[in-house]
Structure 1
Amino acid sequence: MTRLVHWKWQLLAPACGVLLTFSFAPYDYSYFALPALAFFYRLCIAPARHAALSGYLFGLGLFGSGIWWVYISIHRFGGADPYSAGLLTLLLVAVWALFPALTAYLSAKLLAMAGVWFRILAVGLTWVAVEYLRGYWLLNGFPWLQIAYGQLNTPLAGYAPLVGVYGAGFLLAVSAALCAEMWRVRRLRLSGLLALCAIWGGGCLLRQVQWTHAVGAPIKVALLQGNIAQDQKWLEDQRQHTLSLYWQLTQQHWDADVIVWPETAIPVFLSQVKDFYLEPLSALARENGTDLLVSLPSEGEGKSYYNSVMSLGAREALYHKHHLLPFGEYLPLQPLSGWVLDRLAIPLGNFAAGAAEQPLLEAGGYPLVTTICYEDAFGELVSRQVGRAAYLVNVTNDAWFGDTSQPHQHMQIAQMRALETGRYLLRATNTGLSGIVMPNGKISARAPLFTTTALTGTIIPMAGLTPYARWGDSAVFAGLFLLVGMVWRLSKFQPGGWRRNELDGSL
């Protein structure tokens, strides 16, 4: 009978994974994360192998509904047939679903220990620790659908400048675990409710704190969105049209202090356009007192080449993308991955990574942190540079994924970087969503998807460091492990401490 009850819960696991997806953009049902994660916590109150299976099913629902748009890039723009594209998408979902399975397995082990507060905190820490493992280490990291990104419009966003995306995610996971335990354990309801009020009330208060301050006059900016179709972008007979389009859009906005072009807006190598295109453009920028940030591929030593951003105008310099997209800009697991993709006839880039430490670009009279596409998903990459920068710039090309949830999810990630660092963020994209994000993570201006336009507005150069930007993820995790360790020392450790009626009880 007990096993039947567990199977009934497991059948609902994929649906709860889907429910968690709805907490992210473009749906923005932020509070759906609480019941989804509370149900996940309940699934972990089981033998570890059963919990791992439940976690895997939960992960299939989460990633199947959350990153299905990978199919678009592989099939429509990567050239794979529908069968191969579907197979690769399913494989990707199956791999990432292993991480919720790992979380559930470890949580089941922790839930066999005594001390309800230890269990709650330990499971919350386990969730974000596995997120960190997925986000930074495996295959160069895939930090998509991390639970705190869906909380930008809730009180938990107030914690982002303090403890970053992982600290805010920890508090969300703890809140969900509290809800699950309060339902099960009647004696916990008063203290649990007080803890929830403290967590969420504290977030409301923190949202009122201004961690950084202005250091100069407003900067007028223009973000160009060329809306070049992905299947046309690299065609030789379309290059002149693309170059002319961005030239004309730029000519219309010489009154701006900074003009930003999207990722690889120039679809040819630097050496091919430097003399006849970039040098005249840079001269015009200097004449008009404007700085340009343009993006294009550039050559390195030997046969290597980079995905780059170049500043034109008062100062000319290059930034080379450091954190590359696996299976998009380079092939991990060589030579196996290359062999597989060759068999499927899917062409992918093989960029070289730029240095981890590069001089900051300058535009509008101030240094800035530059991220290219996927790099804005790595908070510590931004935070370790932001002390020298007055604002953030992200250039990207989400045309690979069509009119799906991906561009909205990516904008949500960019918003978190602005909130964590207390800086304005300029985001120029090929097909959208281009936007200006304020230091509080709110969007002040946004261009619609799939339109050719120039988004204009003003930003304010900022200085000062948020606690998260000062200390980074390492300090956040050190603090969380210390907290859980202290609670563990105060708890009575009992191997197999769950009583039979607790383990088999229902919600």
Structure 2
Amino acid sequence: MTEPTQVLGAASGAVRSRETAGRLALAAILGVAHTQAFAPHTWWWLQLLSLAGLCALLARAPRPRDAAATGYAFGLGWFLSGIWWLYISMHVYGEMPAWMASLAVLLFVLYLSLYPALAAAAWHWLGTRLRPPARAAPAVPTAAAALLLPLAFGALWGLSEWLRGVVFTGFPWLSGGYAHTDGPLAGYAPLVGVYGIGALSAACAALLTAAAGTLGAGRDGRRTGLVALASALALPLAGAALVPLAWTQPAGQPIRVRLLQGNVPQDMKFEPVGVQRSLELYRDLITAAPTDLVVTPETAFPLILQDLPVDIAIAIRDYVQHSGSTVLFGAAGADSPTDFTNSVFGLGPETAQLYRYNKHHLVPFGEFIPFGFHWFVNMMKMPLGDFRRGGLDQPALPVHGIHVAPNICYEDLFGEEIAQTLRDQAVPANVLANVTNLAWFGDTIALDQHLQISRMRALETRRPMLRATNTGMTAVVLPDGTVAQRLPTFTVGTLVATVQGMQGLTPYVRWGNAPLLTACLALALLAFWRARRRT
């Protein structure tokens, strides 16, 4: 190789390196912007713009592995800025060494970022085969191709989000659809759930990118761009038209509820002084006034039920008998000296015996210990770190003719499981109730994000969601996903409300994720078939 050629090759390599670094940095920034679309903000439109920017970067990546790296950088920005608060639970309250807690969060983010990287690589491979070559004249895809490729991006993105929600028990926190609880795409929730909304959002973003890239490419380009733009606008407009549909009907009479928030600091909750404070505090809050239903947070009584002091148990029993109220309270269950459950227990005029619901979807490392990771959990100060899971077929709690289905903390992250429970119950619950303790995560965006998750469950099932939390956010969410009432965070209080139960099953409750996954797989396979034919 001659010296001028070597110089030109080195210069070209330096340019490519700068381009790659710039693309990855911009992808990470777009990932951070993507996080801002979620609670505590209501900037659902920012998700469309950030994903559209990602699509533009992927289209310019030279190879699928470069696209994968771009999607990976997007994921790093997304998850580092969105779930950093896990560090607080491990280090501040779990007392894990700071270096280990930081490393654990980083490794987890590195794992989660594999999913957008996978979708990005697959879509780039399709794009290089479905787009006409640059030497073609004109280099404008047909209207059909202009729609297929963006829709394939939505399908691949939706499938990757679903995989993130099921592999290794799943972690679908910040799944794309949650950003749209206040947007027009929320109208699709009773039909396709949170993963479907995420897939539609990604498709809208890709359609916007396709429109921007073809509108200026002559007459054919304008026609193709207009088709893509019209499709991008049609999806949210159709969603907005679906928003007013009720899907479910009122069941029985409204019930009066009291949702309790004790604000017990996490660092003392399981200490002897904290246990005593919780016992006395929740005894007093429960028995303060008659109502139809009282709900406490998760492990409001931070001990095993069998260890509940007799005077506390008698106080609750007498309150129920004299007031006709039903009480749903959190405590640990024990069926043997080594068999524990994270549970809620219910007592009321319609319960022949003590009602019990055992948490089904347990938190890895917090409520069950994966094989080979006891050393990791032993680095944290964790009470009862290995629970037994309950089933999905547990009955609801009867309250004055209304049935209330509890779920505990992290469980309301899994809408498909709540949907399955509802359709499998002999009498589907009319009201959902999430009891949780987010004190583990301090005063962070985790509280806002979890409330947004509960709002999506209300939208999917078209049922009210009651939330009783230790430090916040205690709230009543209506079937249309709006927050009717909410207590201030980090205060002791009782939220008093009247709630109307609902009956009937939405399409999402009836069929879960099956229709969405079938549609996404069909679209992806069609795109791959077309790509193979063009190869």
TM-score by length of 1: 0.93
- CA apart distance, 1:137: 2.0
- CA apart distance, 1:432: 0.2
- CA apart distance, 1:327: 1.4
1:78–1:346 CA contact under 8 A, matched in 2: yes
**CA distance in 2: counterparts of 1:235 and 1:33, whole angstroms:** 43
Cα deviations across residues 130-168 of structure 1 (Å, max 9, x unaligned)?
111111222x11010111101111100011011111111
**CA distance in 2: counterparts of 1:407 and 1:364, whole angstroms:** 31
- The equivalent position to 2:160 in structure 1, one of 89, 109, 130, is 130
2:51–2:202 CA contact under 8 A, matched in 1: yes
- CA apart distance, 1:279: 4.5
> 1:230 and 2:266 equivalent?
yes
> 1:71 and 2:91 equivalent?
no
**CA distance in 2: counterparts of 1:112 and 1:404, whole angstroms:** 42
Equivalent position of 1:62 in the other structure: 78
Amino acid at match of 2:121: Y
> 1:328 and 2:357 equivalent?
no
1:221–1:257 CA contact under 8 A, matched in 2: yes
- CA apart distance, 1:290: 0.7
> 1:33 and 2:47 equivalent?
yes
Alignment of 1:99-178 (within 5 A): 99-114=115-130, 115-138=145-168, 140-178=169-207
1:383–1:421 CA contact under 8 A, matched in 2: yes
> 1:412 and 2:442 equivalent?
no
**CA distance in 1: counterparts of 2:27 and 2:188, whole angstroms:** 29
> 1:83 and 2:123 equivalent?
no
Alignment of 1:250-289 (within 5 A): 250-254=286-290, 256-273=291-308, 275-289=310-324
SS at match of 1:328: coil
Amino acid at match of 1:149: Y
- The equivalent position to 2:493 in structure 1, one of 442, 446, 453, is 453
1:373–1:396 CA contact under 8 A, matched in 2: yes
Cα 1:475/1:415, change in 2 over 3 Å? same
- CA apart distance, 1:485: 4.8
SS at match of 1:221: strand
Amino acid at match of 1:397: N
Equivalent position of 2:133 in the other structure: none
**CA distance in 2: counterparts of 1:172 and 1:57, whole angstroms:** 20
**CA distance in 1: counterparts of 2:382 and 2:330, whole angstroms:** 21
Cα 1:488/1:239, change in 2 over 3 Å? closer
- The equivalent position to 1:217 in structure 2, one of 253, 258, 269, is 253
Equivalent position of 1:393 in the other structure: 433
1:113–1:119 CA contact under 8 A, matched in 2: no
Amino acid at match of 1:118: L
Equivalent position of 2:393 in the other structure: 357
Cα deviations across residues 94-113 of structure 1 (Å, max 9, x unaligned)?
22122222221222222233
- CA apart distance, 1:76: 0.7
> 1:442 and 2:477 equivalent?
no
**CA distance in 1: counterparts of 2:248 and 2:295, whole angstroms:** 24
Structure 2 segments unaligned to the other structure (5+ residues): 1-11, 131-144, 216-220
Amino acid at match of 1:452: V
2:334–2:340 CA contact under 8 A, matched in 1: yes
- CA apart distance, 1:358: 1.8
Equivalent position of 1:502 in the other structure: none
Stretch of structure 1 that moved more, 223-232 or 276-285: 276-285
2:156–2:520 CA contact under 8 A, matched in 1: no
**CA distance in 1: counterparts of 2:500 and 2:380, whole angstroms:** 47
1:110–1:123 CA contact under 8 A, matched in 2: no
SS at match of 1:222: strand
1:44–1:111 CA contact under 8 A, matched in 2: no
Cα 1:142/1:492, change in 2 over 3 Å? closer
- CA apart distance, 1:213: 0.5
Equivalent position of 2:138 in the other structure: none
1:215–1:462 CA contact under 8 A, matched in 2: yes
Structure 1 segments unaligned to the other structure (5+ residues): 497-507
- The equivalent position to 1:181 in structure 2, one of 210, 225, 229, is 210
- The equivalent position to 1:95 in structure 2, one of 105, 111, 114, is 111
Cα 1:485/1:311, change in 2 over 3 Å? same
- CA apart distance, 1:365: 2.9
- CA apart distance, 1:21: 0.3
What count of residue pairs does the alignment treat as equivalent? Answer: 490
**CA distance in 2: counterparts of 1:492 and 1:51, whole angstroms:** 17
**CA distance in 2: counterparts of 1:495 and 1:483, whole angstroms:** 17
Stretch of structure 1 that moved more, 1-10 or 352-361: 1-10
**CA distance in 2: counterparts of 1:209 and 1:488, whole angstroms:** 36
SS at match of 2:128: coil
Q: CA RMSD in A?
A: 1.8
**CA distance in 1: counterparts of 2:103 and 2:532, whole angstroms:** 46
**CA distance in 2: counterparts of 1:383 and 1:18, whole angstroms:** 31
Cα 1:458/1:5, change in 2 over 3 Å? same
- CA apart distance, 1:265: 0.2
- CA apart distance, 1:305: 0.0
- CA apart distance, 1:128: 1.2
SS at match of 1:299: strand
Equivalent position of 2:9 in the other structure: none
Amino acid at match of 1:49: R
Cα deviations across residues 239-273 of structure 1 (Å, max 9, x unaligned)?
2221111111122231x211100000001101111
Cα 1:403/1:286, change in 2 over 3 Å? same
**CA distance in 2: counterparts of 1:460 and 1:483, whole angstroms:** 40
SS at match of 1:389: coil
Amino acid at match of 2:155: L
**CA distance in 2: counterparts of 1:402 and 1:91, whole angstroms:** 22
SS at match of 1:355: coil
TM-score by length of 2: 0.88
SS at match of 1:308: strand
